[in-house]
Amino acid sequence: MTAPTKPTETARNAPGEDLHAPVIDWFDEHARDLPWRHPDAGPWAVMVSEFMLQQTPVNRVLPVYEQWLARWPRPADLAKDAPGEAVRAWGRLGYPRRALRLHGAAVAITERHDGDVPTEHAQLLALPGIGEYTAAAVASFAYGQRHPVLDTNVRRVFARAVTGVQYPPNATTAAERRLARTLLPEGERTASRWAAASMELGALVCTAKNESCHRCPIAAQCAWRLAGKPEHDGPPRKGQTYAGTDRQVRGKLLAVLREAHVPVPQTALDRVWDEPVQRARALDGLVSDGLVEPLPGGLYRLPLT
C-alpha cells in the first residue's frame, strides 16, 4: 500500500514582504520632490538635510538648507568657518546645538576623511554629533545601503501597520529596533527605498493626527485599522510647548547675537526678556552649551572656536 503523500507546505513570505512593494510603489508615485533626494545632491547634502530635519518641518528647512549649501557646498567649506557662523546661519530652525554638531562633524570629516562624508555606518557613527538614526539615514539615503532608519514617522507607520497601536512609545525601544530590522528588505537598493518610502508614508498619509487611511497603500493590511483604530492607552504623549519656556528665551537671546557682527553688551540682551532669573538661566545655558561666548566687560558673541 502506498504511503499517503505529505502535503506540501506553502512557502511563507518573509516578514514585511507584503508591505514592501505597495509602499515603495506608492512612494515612486507620490514622493515629494525634495532637493536632498535629487541624484546630484551628494552625501554632504543628505547629511545637512538630516541634521536640519530633526524636529523641524520640511517647509522651514528648505530655505535654510539652500542657503547653507550655497555657502558651504562641502564639509571643508564649513570647517574653515567659525562655529558661530554655523549658529548664525541656522537662523530660526530651532534646537541650534544641531548647528554646532554639524560644524563639528564637518571638521571631523575634513580632518579624518579628506573632506568626504564616510561611506561606512561605523565611520559615520564615530563622527561627533551623529547618533544611530543619522548614521543609518546617511548610509541609506546617500549610499543606498541596507540599514533600518527609525524616525518618528517610520515608528508610527510600524506601530499602526504591524503592532496595531495608534502611537509608538515616547522613546524608541529595543523592540522597535528589532521590528525595523525584521521588516528590512534583503536587497540593499530595495532596503534603501523602503526606508525612504516608509518615512514619507508617515509624513504624508499615516500622520499623527487626521491620518488619511483612504490614501494608504497598505490600509488593507494595517493591524490598527483592522482592529477598529483603538485609542492610544499608553503613557501620555509628550506635548511641545514653547511660549514662556527657557527655549523661547534662549531663542530671543540668540536672535540678538545672530544679528550682531560685533560683541553684544549685557544690556542689549537684558531687553529681550523681562524676568531676570529666567533670562540669566537661559543665557547661562547657552554659554554652557557652547552656543554663546562670554567676553570681558559683560560682552557676548557667537563662538569663534
Residues belonging to the active site: 50
Task: Map residue 23 onto helix, strand or coil.
Answer: helix
**Virtual CA dihedral for 187, 191, 192, 197, nearest 10 degrees?**
140
Task: Map residue 264 onto helix, strand or coil.
Answer: strand
Cβ pair 20, 185 in contact under 8 A: yes
- CA distances, 162 to each of 9, 20, 136, 216 (Å): 24, 13, 22, 14
In degrees and rounded to multiples of 5, residue 145 shows phi and psi of -90, 170
In degrees and rounded to multiples of 5, residue 5 shows phi and psi of -75, 135
Nearest to 41 by CA among 112, 144, 133, 110: 144
Task: Map residue 266 onto helix, strand or coil.
Answer: helix
Sequence-ordered list of residues with C-beta below 8 angstroms from that of 240, at least 6 positions apart, any chain: none
Angle among Cα 147, 28, 59 to the nearest 5 degrees reads 80
**Virtual CA dihedral for 242, 155, 207, 94, nearest 10 degrees?**
30
Q: Record the cell numbers describing residue 6, joined without a space.
A: 505529505
